[in-house]
Amino acid sequence: MGEAAGIRAAAARAVAAVAGNGQRLESALAEVVPGRAQRPAIQSLAFGTLRWYFELDACLGLLLDRPAAALDPEIRALALVGLFQLSHGATPAHAAVAETVEATRVLGRPRAAGLVNALLRRFQREGAAIMGRAHENPQARHAHPSWLLDALMHEWPDHWQVIVAAGNAEPPMWLRVNRRHGTRDAYLARLAAAGMSAECSAFAPEALRLAQPVNVGELPGFAEGAVSVQDAAAQLAPYFLAAQSGMRVLDACAAPGGKACHMLELEPGIAELVALDIDPLRSKRIEENLSRLRLTAKVVVGDAANADWWDGRAFDRILLDAPCSGTGVIRRHPDIKLLRRPDDIARFRAAQLALLRSVYALLTPGGRLLYASCSVLRAENSAMVGEFLSADSTALDVTESARLLLPGVAPVQCPGPGCALPSGAADADGFYYACLEKRA
């Protein structure tokens, strides 16, 4: 059996693990990828199929004479992989059909070959009409779950379409130039010498967006720490936090360490930076990034929701990049569209509020805490921070004054405490920041 069929079968297994078992795409791919050389192709098919899942599944329902849920989960996923190739992929249609049909045998279900062949060939003939009928449903037309579409339309009436379009797009590759190694312009010249082009961000001083994504090993000076991969929106964190020489800084929920490293790159005089994370494996990523960038921080494995790990000394600055729904980074993690449910948001909010209360207690009077999330939903952002501010009279929202001191003009909205960046604006991820200071 051919390699191409094997790639499609592996992608289908990954999609089925997400759609049927609620597994994260990253872990599903780790289980199904047979070899490193095949990973990019498998990943591309799985990401694309999940990105357009709600559209493709609606088309599949119109092609079948029985409920799609009655299909074997892996065959259903394989049919969606085939539909993705025909509607959004670059593979020639005849090859996409033949290789997807062949993949039924790789999956051990050769009897499904006729069904898959008939579905895909009918879509070849009638695709425009079937897609038009599917798009009568907003969930299919926008390829986002209905509950999320409703929330975005309500909370972002002027931006929801930009956010949705970003969620359906392939993400750009943003770089963060290490200022200790040279200027952004100097690194632009290094990229040009290596045959790569990039554009500067208008609001993040170290950020460059590559015209074409590449393997990190191809980036000039990556191994030596000259550059890192980080979205432009995330690169605002050190500027909001404004850590200064001699300060003690906590990065709570720090893995994989991008923001902690950026802080150290910008302010070498930080007295001590504690990078805290609850996950031992992810904490190793912090250490790896620190090592590559030749930076020093104290990496601690512990739960930011309690102070069991704390040594009793207060922090001048605290960054809390809280676990969230990830609705601002769907373009990077399309499985979020399937894995998140409406009732998850209340659960995230409760956990975020508990984390915020816990780490705020470690802040010295006169100090600053930066709450950050990659959600675009108010419940996890301004509403949660507003609840915290209402309950603690020592906390003051200073986001607006901090925002005015940012080095560029970010495309933000400030409808409540903190400020939000909608996904896709300036081609950056969706992000939320709130600067809170403790009255002395």
The enclosing domain of 55 has a CATH number of 1.10.940.10
The average pLDDT across 274-286 equals 97
Q: How confident is the model at residue 216 (pLDDT cuts 50, 70, 90)?
A: very high
One DSSP character per residue, 219-283 reads STTTTTTSEEE--TGGGGHHHHH---TT-EEEEET-TT-HHHHHHHHH-TT-SEEEEEES-HHHH
CA–CA dist 320, 216 (Å, integer): 27
Pairing relationship of beta strands 227-229 and 315-321 according to DSSP bridges: unpaired
For the chain, the domain total comes to 2
* Residue 210, H or E segment: strand 207-210
Domain boundary among 96, 121, 143: 143
In a domain, 96, yes or no: yes
The enclosing domain of 347 has a CATH number of 3.40.50.150
In a domain, 407, yes or no: yes
Pairing relationship of beta strands 363-373 and 315-321 according to DSSP bridges: parallel
pLDDT at 90: 87
User: pLDDT at residue 391 above 60?
Assistant: yes
370 closest CA partner among 253, 283, 264, 290: 253
Residue count of the chain: 440
Domain boundary among 143, 159, 193: 143
Across 285-438, the runs of DSSP E, i.e. the strands, are: 298-301, 315-321, 363-373, 395-397, 419-421, 431-438
114 and 259, same structural domain?
no
CB contact at 8 A, 15 and 50: yes
In a domain, 428, yes or no: yes
Does the active-site annotation cover 374?
A: yes
In a domain, 290, yes or no: yes
Query: Which tokens sit at 141?
Result: 């037309």
CB contact at 8 A, 426 and 363: no
How many other CB atoms are there within 10 angstroms of residue 402's CB atom? 21
* Residue 209, H or E segment: strand 207-210
CA–CA dist 26, 122 (Å, integer): 32
253 closest CA partner among 373, 349, 423, 381: 373
pLDDT at 212: 96
Domain boundary among 122, 143, 164: 143
Which burial class, exposed, middle or buried, applies to 343 when counting CB atoms under 10 A from its CB (0-12, 13-18, 19+)? exposed
pLDDT at 129: 98
In a domain, 83, yes or no: yes
CA–CA dist 285, 278 (Å, integer): 12
The average pLDDT across 9-19 equals 97
384 and 264, same structural domain?
yes
242 and 354, same structural domain?
yes
245 and 137, same structural domain?
no
Greater confidence (37 vs 14) lies with 14
397 and 248, same structural domain?
yes
| Helices and strands, number each (H, E), in the chain | 18, 12
> What share of the chain in percent tops pLDDT 90?
92
pLDDT at 65: 85
263 and 131, same structural domain?
no
In a domain, 53, yes or no: yes
CA–CA dist 225, 296 (Å, integer): 13
pLDDT at 412: 86
Domain that holds residue 136: 3-143
CA–CA dist 42, 185 (Å, integer): 36
The HSE-up count of residue 11 (CA atoms within 13 Å, CB side) is: 30
Q: Spot the catalytic one: 374, 414, 419, 435.
A: 374
Secondary structure (3-state) at 194: coil
Which residues lie below 8 Å from residue 305, measured CB to CB, with a gap of 6+?
351, 354, 355, 358
80 closest CA partner among 143, 146, 136: 143
In a domain, 397, yes or no: yes
The average pLDDT across 134-161 equals 97
Question: What Å distances lie between residue 389 and 27, 219, 292, 434, CA to CA?
Answer: 38, 43, 39, 11
In a domain, 169, yes or no: no
CA–CA dist 351, 361 (Å, integer): 16
Which residues lie below 8 Å from residue 104, measured CB to CB, with a gap of 6+?
75, 78, 110, 111, 112, 113, 116
**Whole-number mean pLDDT of the chain?**
96
382 and 266, same structural domain?
yes
Secondary structure (3-state) at 152: helix
What's the predicted TM-score (pTM) here?
0.94
For 231-248, how does the pLDDT look when each residue is reduced to its tens digit (9 = 90+)? Answer: 999 999 999 999 999 999
Place of tokens 């512990």: 302
